[in-house]
Amino acid sequence: MSIQRYASICMLSCVLVPLNVYGSAAHEKKSPAQRAESHHPDNWRFRIPKGDPIKGRSAFEKFECYYCHEVKGEDFPYPAESAPELSQMGPLHPPEYFAESILHPSAVVPQRYRDVDGKSPMSMDHIVRMTLQEFIDISSYLASLKPNLAAKNVNGEGTVIALTPGKGEIILDHKEIVGFMDAMTMGYKTASAQMVKGFKPGDKVRFTIDVDRRMIVDIKKIKP
């Protein structure tokens, strides 16, 4: 099954299931809360089956994804086009994040990689040629990648975009962290919820990331 056909089936299911549910007499007897739960469960999110990272690597090579994306530590040809380096991304995202990037490249695009229309320049030819299993396996391969870093901590600078103080999370638009991550807008957990108190959107900050824990362990405002 191709990804294109899979997407069509998903869209058809989204139409038919609600029609079936809302058209039944049994449904009309349920409370609004029960109807909402049966249609869209709380905490629902899209999940893909577990793939094979080894086969995913082969598929990555087959579709020449290395033409644009560098994967540090791999022996793929050096990219001819500019796109995010991928070994840094694996520990930061679940397979579904990469699945979305394959199906809808413009969903999340770092500003430096956008075209004149603000979208991803990534080709969509693979959507027609890639099988569903290859799609799953590539997503798993990308999620399995890890940067080859000797340093325990890395430092960066950026601007606060948003905060969730109760959870100790902060979204930063940061510059390139050399050898670790491209310039991008990214959400991070902090070592303590107290750490983000006193910060607000627009603040310029300098921060330290624990590479193993993938969280900010120190953050300070940069004086104007």
> Beta strand 184-189 with 169-174: parallel, antiparallel or unpaired?
antiparallel
pLDDT of residue 20: 44
If asked whether residues 133 and 83 sit together in one domain, one would say yes
3-class secondary-structure state, position 60: helix
pLDDT of residue 32: 59
pLDDT of residue 113: 82
If asked whether residues 131 and 61 sit together in one domain, one would say yes
Comparing CA positions, the residue from 89, 119, 123 lying closest to residue 107 is: 119
Report whether 98 contacts 134 (CB < 8 A): no
If asked whether residues 80 and 139 sit together in one domain, one would say yes
CATH number at 139 reads 1.10.760
Residues in the chain, pLDDT under 50: 12-27
Fill in the amino acid letter for 149: L
Residue 164 located in a structural domain:
yes
What's the domain count of the chain?
3
Residue 123 located in a structural domain:
yes
What pTM did the predictor assign? 0.64
How many CB atoms within 10 Å of residue 75? 6
pLDDT single digits (tens) 38-72: 666 777 888 999 999 999 999 999 999 999 999 98
If asked whether residues 139 and 160 sit together in one domain, one would say no
Residue 44 located in a structural domain:
no
Fill in the amino acid letter for 185: T
Residue 47 located in a structural domain:
no
Residue 130 located in a structural domain:
yes
Residue 202 located in a structural domain:
yes
If asked whether residues 14 and 66 sit together in one domain, one would say no
pLDDT of residue 133: 96
pLDDT single digits (tens) 189-199: 899 988 998 99
Burial class (CB in 10 A: 0-12, 13-18, 19+), 44: exposed
Residue 201 located in a structural domain:
yes
pLDDT of residue 166: 82
Residue 64 structural domain = 53-144
End position of a domain, from candidates 78, 110, 144: 144
